[in-house]
Amino acid sequence: MSKPMEKHYRQIVGATITGLACDDTDKDFGDIWALNLRTKDGCTAIAWILADPEGNGPGFLAIDVKESSNE
């Protein structure tokens, strides 16, 4: 695994899946599913299940981490 990809995916190591999300706003493309997460440090995150960083191929999980809710 490349270092940038390892760093990217390590953001959610130990996180808890708290629910699902779905973006159904693009009727031509179809639904885009995601996992709602709570990280070990209390942040919430959404892990979007995409084809790749550009949406062109298999196997990429986009992660958007939000600020800690403890602050």
**Total number of domains constituting the chain:** 1
Domain of residue 11, residue span: 3-68
Interval 39-64: pLDDT, tens: 999 999 998 888 777 766 445 677 88
Interval 7-36: pLDDT, tens: 988 999 999 999 999 888 877 777 888 899
Contact 33, 46 (CB under 8 A): no
